Structure 1
Amino acid sequence: MIKNISAILFLFIVTSCSQKITEEQLSDLNGYWEIEKVTLPDGQKKEYTVNETIDYIQLDGLKGFRKKVKPTFSGTYITSDDAETFTLFNKEDTYLLTYKTEISEWTETLKSISKDQFSVTNEDNITYFYKRYEPINISK
């Protein structure tokens, strides 16, 4: 009996600690992001300490785009006209980012989001953890 109560209590704590992502939080995706780490399906982790390129995300409602940009020391960004457009869908209280380009289509699941971090898991069960990009400040 005590084991059953303990198991139920444990499940309650685990499920109550996970935060549901709200539509209001989605605007936090706007801006510049860099990959902090990647977790592979087998549990291996890869840390990213330096990123030559970062992602710029612009969201308007439930549609948006992601573009790779390269920051410069002057505070500007080098970019191309290439962008990956996506649409956000809410499916069973989970937000899915569905991408479509001329050569590919894929879906990522938004796992967490805050003003300074977010994570997504792709169809291959690889989870990407992003942190808000902080420009390098070189003073003269």
Structure 2
Amino acid sequence: MKAKIFILLCVVFLSCNQTHVEDISMLNGYWEIEKVTFPSGEEKAYKINTVIDFWQLNDSTGTREKVMPRLDGRFTNMNEFENFSIKHKNDAIYVEYNNDGNIRSEKLILLTKDKLGLENDQEKTYYYKRFEKFSLK
């Protein structure tokens, strides 16, 4: 009985620590932040976002741009972007930004059709949802 419980706990623990990435190309598109979790366990939820991220990935490099959705369904470019590359390290996937020699990375912990999760080196985890365009036209 103890062996069965131990095995069950091991499976649960290992599955909780694994990254869930369905297909790296799903990173392409518009993402809006939903919440941030902090190492303390606290969360900050974002109900309304005036600026969202547009990710464009080609093979293993791309750009991440800040854009503002407009009521006509288009976007205003905020002229704020970062170049990135995808790196595989220790059975994990990282988004590594290198802008003017300033290098930082985020661990990709979740990527599905509708969800994105990134953890930075300060153990803050950022959760995004796929942005749905709207239009009053």
When normalised by structure 1's length, the TM-score is: 0.88
1:58 matched to 2:66? The reply is no
Structure 1 gaps, min length 5: none
Change (3 A) 1:35 1:102: same
Aligned to 1:44: 42
1:87 matched to 2:85? The reply is yes
Aligned to 2:21: 21
**Distance in 2 between the 1:103 and 1:82 partners?**
16
**Distance in 1 between the 2:31 and 2:82 partners?**
15
The aligned runs of 1:111-130 (5 Å cut-off) are 111-130=109-128
Aligned to 1:8: 7
The aligned runs of 1:69-108 (5 Å cut-off) are 69-102=67-100, 104-108=102-106
Contact 2:68 2:78 survives alignment (8 Å): no
Q: Deviations over 1:20-63 (max 9, x none)?
A: 536xx000000000001100111100111100000000000011
**Distance in 2 between the 1:101 and 1:8 partners?**
45
Change (3 A) 1:13 1:41: closer
Contact 1:34 1:133 survives alignment (8 Å): yes
1:110 matched to 2:96? The reply is no
Contact 1:20 1:93 survives alignment (8 Å): no
CA RMSD, Structure 1 to Structure 2 (Å):
1.8
Percent identity (aligned): 35
What one-letter code is carried by the residue in structure 2 that aligns with 1:34? E
**Distance in 2 between the 1:74 and 1:20 partners?**
35
- How many residue pairs get matched? 136
Contact 2:63 2:83 survives alignment (8 Å): yes
SS at match of 1:82: strand
Structure showing the higher strand proportion among its residues: 2
**Distance in 1 between the 2:7 and 2:127 partners?**
30
